[in-house]
Structure 1
Amino acid sequence: MFAPSHFTAVLLFATFASVVFGITQRSTPRAMVRYGLFCWVCFVGVVIAASWLMFFIRR
């Protein structure tokens, strides 16, 4: 049975959502890849920042 950790689930979600955003929001293949990577970095960056924020709030 596949039971990913929270971080693995975030990476999977960021990957799939970024692929969809890149394909649907841009028209040229180069722009699709660049926008997809931008979205992926934003997703993962926000999750890491939020996890640190929750860590410091908890302490």
Structure 2
Amino acid sequence: MFAPTHFTAVLLFATFASVVFGITQRSTPKAMVRYGLYCWVMFVGVVIAASWAMWLIRR
């Protein structure tokens, strides 16, 4: 059975959501890929920043 960790789940969500955002929000293939990568980096970056913030608050 597939039981991903929280971080793996975040990576999967970021990947699928970024693919959808790239396809639906841009018209050319190059723009789709660039926007998808931008969204992916933002998803993962915000999750890492939020996890550090929660770690600092807990301390």
- Please provide the CA RMSD for this pair: 0.1
Gaps of 5+ in 2: none
Deviating above 4 A after TM superposition, structure 1's stretches of 4 or more consecutive aligned residues are none
TM-score by length of 1: 1.00
**Equivalences, count:** 59
Q: Deviations over 1:3-57 (max 9, x none)?
A: 0000000000000000000000000000000000000000000000000000000
Return the alpha-carbon distance in structure 1 between the equivalents of residues 2 and 38 of structure 2: 28
Name the structure 2 match of 1:15: 15
Gaps of 5+ in 1: none
**What letter is aligned with 1:25?**
Q
